[in-house]
Chains A and B, each alone.
Chain A
Amino acid sequence: MGLLPVVIVGASLGGLRSAEALRRSGYAGPITVFGDEPHAPYNRPPLSKDVLGGGDVTHASVAFPQRAATADVDWRLGTRIASADLERRLVRTADGTEVPYRALIVATGLRPKRLSARTEGLAGTFALRTLDDAGALSDALTPGTQVVIAGSGFVGCEVAATARQLGCEVTVVGSGKLPMLGPLGPALAEELMRRHEAHGVRFRLGTHVAEALGQDAVEGVRLADGSEVACQVLVEAIGSLHNTEWLHGNDVDVDQGLRTDSAMRVLRADGRPWVDVFAVGDVARFPNAIYGDVPASIEHWNIPTETAKRASRILAMQLAEDPDVDAAIAERFAPVPSFWSDQYDIHLLAYGLPALADRMELLAGRTDGECVYGYFVGARMVGVCGIGMRSEVMKFREEVSRYGHVAIGEPA
């Protein structure tokens, strides 16, 4: 019997970067990556923008380049892992095959939350997470089509902009007071809504879709206030769920993400780490030193890469019996979250976590043009976000990354 592989479950950004970082960190042994989608790793952010809007819904247009160092990785695509036994160190595929591992990296990410209203089997209802989702939705966004988007977060707003540019009639239904209120704060969220409305998007805020109307195909929605909006396309963009069900029955904490320590090692319920099980990317709920080490999952694009590098380096050192591994585990882990969003000609770029702020302040430019806002908790900057003005936004990244640094004697 040969050496057991490092098994990575999840073949998207986090899984890919984990495999690459294992090689870069000197691990030369076998790596097996399982992915439930049939596609090799690809970049998801363009799905709601260029892919949906441009009609080029091909894997090649979004595929991540494969590096030579990972050419010998065993990619098991289209193979869903159904369960795991962390005590026995194995995972099981959907057909029951047991795959033993030397170490496990969990990179199973998120899936879209669906409406509690019945939409299953109703033609014209969509969620957007995968390339295949984008292909299906793209075909439905024809000029003149009435589109209701449930959810006014990143995905909802981006799909609204794209659908409007394709000539659809768009209504966004959001439970908050303003679209993208959490990440943008009131002043920018209000401006974003104003610009969407100037493009002809309608908003129904402070309510939600209570019922989808129609027998075989969606014909409209009934909102919580009893009013109805006609549509032929309903996009469900109300948030995400962590893909952790396959870990059921193991001693792990899956409340709002798979809990890890700052070395990205998965924790048991009592807080002790599984030394050979790591989690990376959107699925992981990890402590970030910038935010006082309170474990949180951060669903921003740069986090899979940052957490994969962290986990893989420590795992590679462990497998090599490197005496410095304990020092590496103890190192401060403080990845700066970053996000961006493109809607029409609005290019948003942000660092930090504006959603934590109690106050926002215009730092540069004009809100109705290009601008930069700072987000503060007391006197401390916790986030920065701009429309355009990227160099200006980037100047504040350093300050935002120091949010959690409290000097001795300084009030927190």
Chain B
Amino acid sequence: MLKVDVDRTQCQNFGQCVLEAPNVFVLNAKDEMEYTPVVDDSELENVEAAIDVCPMQAISLVSGR
């Protein structure tokens, strides 16, 4: 499993992560980003892409194992 972390002091709900990893990140009805902190290894590539495109560079991968 992969552990995903979002720095909430940085995140400004741009939602770019949602486009790259829709199974991990979503924008709710109030346009606030919500995410699943522990996801399957198969999401690695998508989460890496989400990390790349986050304008605030708020996403990190805590551990993959």
Contacts and interface: CB of A to CB of B under 8 A. Distances in A.
A93 interface: no
A65 interface: yes
Interface string A327-349: 00000000000101010000101
Given A340-B14, A349-B14, A397-B19, A301 B55 contact: yes
Contacts of B46: none
A349 B19 CA distance: 14
A394 B18 contact: yes
Contacts of A43: 57
Contacts of A338: 16
B13 A390 contact: yes
A388 B31 contact: yes
Contacts of B60: 65
A116 interface: no
Interface in B1-37: 12-16, 18-19, 27, 31
Nearest to A394: B15
B55 A390 contact: no
B38 interface: no
A391 B55 CA distance: 16
Interface residues of B, number: 17
A217 interface: no
Contacts of A390: 13-15, 27, 31
Interface in A42-61: 43, 45-46
Contacts of B12: 342, 347
Interface string A43-85: 1011000000000000000001100000000000000000000
Interface residues of A, number: 21
A301 B55 CA distance: 8
A342 B12 CA distance: 10
Interface string A384-395: 000011110010
Interface in A323-371: 338, 340, 342, 347, 349
B52 interface: yes
Interface string B54-65: 011100100000
A401 to B, nearest CB: 11
Contacts of A45: 55
Nearest to A351: B19
Interface string A10-51: 000000010000001000000000000000000101100000
Interface of A: 17, 24, 43, 45-46, 64-65, 301-302, 305, 338, 340, 342, 347, 349, 388-391, 394, 397
28 contacts: A24-B48, A43-B57, A45-B55, A46-B56, A65-B51, A65-B57, A65-B60, A301-B55, A305-B52, A305-B53, A338-B16, A340-B14, A340-B55, A347-B12, A349-B14, A388-B31, A389-B31, A390-B13, A390-B14, A390-B15, A390-B27, A391-B15, A391-B27, A391-B31, A394-B15, A394-B18, A394-B19, A394-B27
Per CB-CB distance, the 6 closest pairs between chain A and chain B, nearest first, are A391-B27, A390-B15, A390-B31, A305-B52, A391-B31, A43-B57
